[in-house]
Amino acid sequence: MASRRINRLTPFNVTALALGLAFLYLPIVILVIYSFNASRLVTVWGGWSLRWYYEFFNDRAMMDAAWMSLRVAAVSATIATILGTLAAVALTRGERFKGRMLFSGMLYAPLVMPEVISGLSLLLLFVALDAGRGFWTVTIAHTTLTMCFVTVVVQSRLGAIDRSLEEAAMDLGCDPVRAFLSVTLPLIIPSIAAGWMLAFTLSLDDVVIASFTTGPGSATLPIRIYSEVRLGVKPEINAICTMVIALIAVVITVASFASKLSRAQGENAVPL
């Protein structure tokens, strides 16, 4: 009876939920609607139009920045997912080794480190190495930033998996590598996909670290938008942000379906 009383929807709960959702999503809804505004003034509605989407596709600088952001996000998310998964496996399944505590601390440091400090330290590193700042410096910086998030996601999933499944596979003749590939990997693919998606969105959103590590001709889309906003918000920026929201929604949908499919395959898989 007590649980039913707690879970029952009351006017207060409904109002609080509605206000919370409005606070989170109403600004995004307004931005999407005004991306179809025909007026040049952002706050004045002038009718429905696709004008600012055409303006974006004809803006060479914005298109280059968007392509740069997508490439950096995809490459850095992929590298971070591979390295983060290996680190999670080493911490969860590997034997204890000297310096494990130091390794864990260095791995999780970007989670609590202010981005200004991380960006400045990476800038000093690239200057000391005399590395030309561009695509690869931003990619390395974003990999450093996002790898720890992937490790946390994958490590939490590995910690929830019963190790007796791997031991049973090895008892049936699998070596440790084959047992991992046949049993463990299908079970952690949903968390790997979630880690990649998180790394992709964090890279696509970053301004601070990218501003320290980028160079001439390699500005990312957030940096470009930030420089444009300082001179005044243009309706074209609403169109750009709407397309980014649509892209993230597509990525989330695909990752969700992939996770469900891989989870179903993992449950039906029989280790050899």
Q: What is the DSSP letter of 131?
A: P
Cα–Cα dist 130/123, whole Å:
10
Residue 263 has a pLDDT of 60
Is residue 48 helix, strand or coil?
A: strand
Catalogue the long-range contacts made by 21-30 (C-beta closer than 8 Å, 24 or more residues apart). Answer: 28/245
Residue 71 has a pLDDT of 92
For residue 141, which of 79, 194, 195, 63 has the smallest C-alpha distance?
79
For residue 171, which of 272, 255, 86 has the smallest C-alpha distance?
272
Each residue's pLDDT tens digit, 112-126 = 888 888 889 888 988
Enumerate residue ranges in the chain where pLDDT < 50: 1-3, 270-272
Given its phi and psi angles, is residue 232 left (phi above 0), alpha (psi -120 to 50 degrees) or beta? left
Which amino acid would we find at residue 47? G
Q: What tokens does 41 get?
A: 């003034």
CATH of segment(s) 59-268: 1.10.3720.10
Q: How many Cα neighbours within 13 Å face the side chain of 63?
A: 8
Cα–Cα dist 9/122, whole Å:
50
Bridge partner list, 37: 48
Residue 230 has a pLDDT of 74
Count other C-beta atoms under 10 Å from residue 177's C-beta.
8
Q: What tokens does 249 get?
A: 């929604």
Domain limits, the chain: 9-49, 59-268
Cα–Cα dist 203/244, whole Å:
13
CA–CA–CA angle 74, 223, 219 (5° rounding): 65
Is the pTM higher than 0.85?
Answer: no
Q: Which helix or strand (DSSP H or E) is residue 30 part of?
A: helix 11-34
Residue 266 has a pLDDT of 52
Residue 33 has a pLDDT of 86
